[in-house]
Amino acid sequence: QLGVGLAQMLREQYGKENVILSDIKRPPADVFNMGPFVYADVLDYKNLRELVVNNRITWLVHYSALLSAVGEANVTLARTINITGLHNVLDLALENCLRLFVPSTIGAFGPSSPRDPAPDLCIQRPRTIYGVSKVHGELMGEYLHHKYGLDFRCLRYPGVISATTKPGGGTTDYAVQIFHDALGSGHHECYLRPQTRLPMMHISDCHRATIEFMQADECQLSLRTYNIAAISFTPEEVAAEIRKHVPQLTVTYKPDPVRQNIADSWPMRFDDSNARRDWGWKPAYGLPELVTDMLDRVQNKRTNAGLPVS
Ligand SMILES: NC(=O)c1ccc[n+]([C@@H]2O[C@H](COP(=O)([O-])OP(=O)(O)OC[C@H]3O[C@@H](n4cnc5c(N)ncnc54)[C@H](O)[C@@H]3O)[C@@H](O)[C@H]2O)c1
Ligand SMILES: C[C@@H](O)[C@H](N)C(=O)O
């Protein structure tokens, strides 16, 4: 969901040939033709090393992961990709003096964390393999920063909302699907209860935050892991905002026990005051702006694909 857009934004600033996208999956034609794309498996250390050496890589953005819901469905694979993969990337960054960005998440908190809002520094006892692996990543990165000077940077993202790229199996995915359903069938069945409040963010705010944070001078940073926030909403609130544009939208609620349980253990709001103070973080999209933009983009996407728009 996030890698392609970030690469696009970085290429605008640093040049098309200077940003290499990678995955283990075959990319769609538009992504492949957009700029350099290579196969890279985070579990294959030798292959990663070759890529870094052959391309004289200086920054590494490590997005590969299994997200919260798919992680719970395959704990062993999530542990391997999210923890063993991360260790490969950390070793590679140390060995080659790379600057390293690794995202964390609202999922790095658990039911014993303060939920409204969750500050940067507080108790973190997540109850998902995804959350456990992300806390592990935060701690390993910070440890290597303090011990060896690794330039490790980490942002805890909220649920990210995008129109062109699909979410990869998280607990916040409903907040993307509801836009497609609103303009498609006109009906959305939500797997969370109507009043489940979670922090969310428009994808362009997420990408901009990542780049601004990567570019921030080291002396501006009092932390290596920051919360970033934009909006917090419930399914019924986002549906009400969508209905201002698509009045016929109907929503029914059929809570999925796994995802509802995860959502209930996550923060309702994020305190991002440190990011705002230290490196000037400020989101651009509130709920009305996000809804208008998503409906425009999803409508264009459907029209271009020859699909009806309700
Ligand atoms: N999307 C969100 O709402 C959100 C919120 C908080 C944090 N994050 C974090 O941002 C990062 C990117 O998230 P996303 O939404 O783009 O996830 P995604 O599921 O869309 O993408 C993850 C990518 O990792 C790749 N991958 C899986 N196994 C791999 C392997 N062995 N080697 C290399 N690549 C492999 C997958 O093919 C996929 O393209 C993740 O670390 C995620 O935890 C995302
Ligand atoms: C919140 C985030 O980490 C991801 N979208 C998930 O729900 O798993």
Tokens representing 303?
């029209």
Atom of ligand 2 nearest to the CA of 67: 8
- Contact between 268 and 116 under an 8 Å Cβ cutoff? The reply is yes
141: tokens are 């990165």
Say if residue 310's pLDDT is above 80.
no
What ipTM did this prediction achieve? Answer: 0.99
User: Which of 67, 204, 205, when mutated, tests ligand 1's pocket best, judged by the most ligand atoms within 8 Å of its CB?
Assistant: 67
Beta strands at 225-227 and 250-253: parallel, antiparallel or unpaired: unpaired
pLDDT at 39: 98
Phi-psi region of 3 (alpha: psi -120 to 50; beta: other; left: phi over 0): alpha
Cα distances (angstroms) measured from residue 131 to each of 42, 193, 203 = 19, 21, 21
- The answer to whether 271 touches 119, Cβ cutoff 8 Å, is yes
Pairing mode of beta strands 198-202, 231-233: antiparallel
How is residue 257 written in tokens? Answer: 């026990």
> Residue 228 pLDDT more than 80?
yes
Asked if residue 121 has pLDDT above 80, the reply is: yes
Answer yes or no: is the C-beta of 63 below 6 A from any ligand 1 atom: yes
Please work out whether the CB of residue 57 comes within 6 Å of at least one atom of ligand 1: no
Going by alpha carbons, the residue nearest to atom 4 of ligand 2 is 170
In the chain, the largest separation of any two C-alpha atoms, in whole Å, equals 57
Catalytic position from the list 39, 63, 130, 143: 130
pTM for the model: 0.98
What is the rounded distance in angstroms from the CA atom of residue 110 to the CA atom of residue 174? Answer: 20
What residues contact residue 54 under an 8 Å CB cut-off, 6+ apart? none
Contact between residue 201 and residue 283 where contact means Cβ atoms under 8 Å apart: yes
161 CA distance to ligand 1 middle (Å) = 14
* Atom 2 in ligand 2: residue holding the nearest Cα: 159
Which pLDDT tens digit goes with each residue over 172-205? 999 999 999 999 999 999 999 999 999 999 999 9
Query: Of the bound ligands, which one is closest to the alpha carbon of residue 128?
Result: 2
Distance 219 CA to ligand 2 centre (A): 30
Residue matched to tokens 């790095």: 108
- How close is the Cα of 148 to the center of ligand 2, in Å? 30
Query: Cα of 50 to ligand 2 centre, how many Å?
Result: 31
> Domains in the chain, start-ordered, CATH in brackets?
3-304 (3.40.50.720)
46 burial (CB, 10 Å; 0-12 / 13-18 / 19+) is exposed
Asked about 157 being catalytic, the answer comes back as no
Q: Which tokens hold the place of 261?
A: 């349980």
Q: What digits encode the pLDDT tens for the residues 236-257? A: 999 999 999 999 999 999 999 9
Reported as a pLDDT band with limits 50, 70 and 90, residue 308 is confident
